[in-house]
Amino acid sequence: MKQTLPVKNGVMNNLSIQTTMLDPQQKLDQGKAAAKALMSVAKPISINGKSYLRFEDLQLIAAFFQCTAGSSDPEFVEIEGIKGYKANACVRNKEGTVISTASAYCLREGHWIDRENFSLASMAQTRSAAKALRNAFGWIITLSGFEATPAEEMPLNSDFSKQSDDFLEEPNTDEEPATHKQLNLLSKLVDSPYLENQERSELSELLMQDISKTKASEIIGYYYGVNVFRDGEWVKIKDGVLDSRSNLPD
């Protein structure tokens, strides 16, 4: 028998709960197996001596259970005079049933105060999806020995490329430059009719500078979506903002 229970504040609503008792030991064995596999490949971030998993690690846990996470288009918000973006996310199982939902923000404060709008919007999506995954699979994270909070929610440098016990943003002088393929794609993006004027201006200014491979990948993923090579073919696991804009009626 299944029972759908609404939960306030949109944190875990539409959660399909199995009311029949499962074998606890079998469930625990599955969790331990997932935790062991995760620990062999995870690349956690160290903050004050504690280890926090990245969004990519949480996605891997979801894949163990044939689940995926997706987020909504970022929504511009202003809270007490501070501007930024909000995004909603959900986790679905292989049947398409929503098993977890969450919302998250990225506001123009701290080390985000001078970042481009699309960077804030992209982080809001990442944070919301990571939070939804934590809601669904926090018990696996705990079994793995890591902190349950995703690294993206911690006050760390913006690209999580360094493990640091302080909260200062340090320059990464070893960053690889963007590839010719990435730069060509970004140049074409500037001419897209679906870009807003401010986005086009920001992107044009970036192209006049030396862009890192990581930064280019972040921008491309935000606008075009994210693809992974799975079972011999490329599969889109996250839509970009251009996907929704191109489907809007004229």
76 with 117, same domain? yes
Is there a domain that residue 36 lies in?
Answer: yes
Q: Give 20-79 pLDDT, tens digit per residue.
A: 556 788 888 888 888 888 888 888 887 777 888 888 889 989 999 899 998 888 999 999
Which of the residue ranges 5-9, 104-108, 232-236 would you say has the lowest mean pLDDT? 5-9
C-alpha distances (whole Å) from 125 to each of 21, 108, 170, 198, 250 are 35, 15, 24, 20, 26
pLDDT score at 160? 41
pLDDT the model gives residue 107: 93
Q: Which of 169, 195, 223 is the last residue of a domain?
A: 169
Confidence of residue 113 (pLDDT cuts 50, 70, 90): confident
Of the candidates 48, 44, 57, the one whose C-alpha atom is nearest the C-alpha of residue 167 is 48
Same domain, 67 and 146: yes
Domain identity same for 114 and 218: no
- Please tell me the total count of domains within the chain: 2
Q: How many residues does the chain have?
A: 250
Read off the pLDDT band of 222 (50, 70, 90): confident
Instruction: Kindly tell me if the per-residue pLDDT of 123 is higher than 60.
Output: yes
**DSSP output for the chain:** -EEEE--GGGSSTTEEEE-SPP-HHHHHHHHHHHHHHHHHH--PEEETTEEE--HHHHHHHHHHTT-EEEEPPPEEEEETTEEEEEEEEEEE-TT--EEEEEEEEEES-GGGTTS-HHHHHHHHHHHHHHHHHHHHHHHHHHHHTSBSS-GGGSS--TT--S--SS------TTPPBPPHHHHHHHHHHHT-TTS-HHHHHHHHHHHTS--BHHHHHHHHHHHHEEEEEETTEEEEEEE-HHHHHHTS--
Q: Establish if 25 belongs to a structural domain.
A: no
| Same domain assignment for residues 125 and 222 | no
Spatial distance between the Cα atoms of 6 and 155, rounded to a whole number of angstroms: 32
Residues 9 and 128 in one domain: yes
Tell me what percent of the residues of the chain surpass a pLDDT of 70.
Answer: 78
Same-domain check for residues 55 and 131: yes
Q: What is the pTM of this model?
A: 0.59
Residues 37 and 110 in one domain: yes
112-123 mean pLDDT: 87
CA–CA distance, 40 with 37 (Å, rounded to integer): 5
Do residues 73 and 197 both lie within one domain? Answer: no
- Same domain for 158 and 207, yes or no, is no
SS3 of 79-140: ECCEEEEEEEEEEECCCCCEEEEEEEEEECCHHHCCCCHHHHHHHHHHHHHHHHHHHHHHHH
Boundary-marking domain end, from 118, 150, 169? 169
In a domain? residue 57:
yes
Q: Are residues 83 and 116 in the same domain?
A: yes
Q: Which residue, 148, 169, 190, sits at the end of a domain?
A: 169
Q: What is the pLDDT of residue 239?
A: 77
User: pLDDT per residue over 61-70, tens digit each?
Assistant: 999 989 999 8
Amino acid letter, residue 159: D
Indicate which CATH number applies to the domain containing 62: 3.30.390
Same domain? For 184 and 147 the reply is no
Q: Are residues 53 and 135 in the same domain?
A: yes
**What is d(CA 138, CA 61) in angstroms, rounded to the nearest whole number?**
10
The boundaries of the domain holding residue 214 are: 175-250
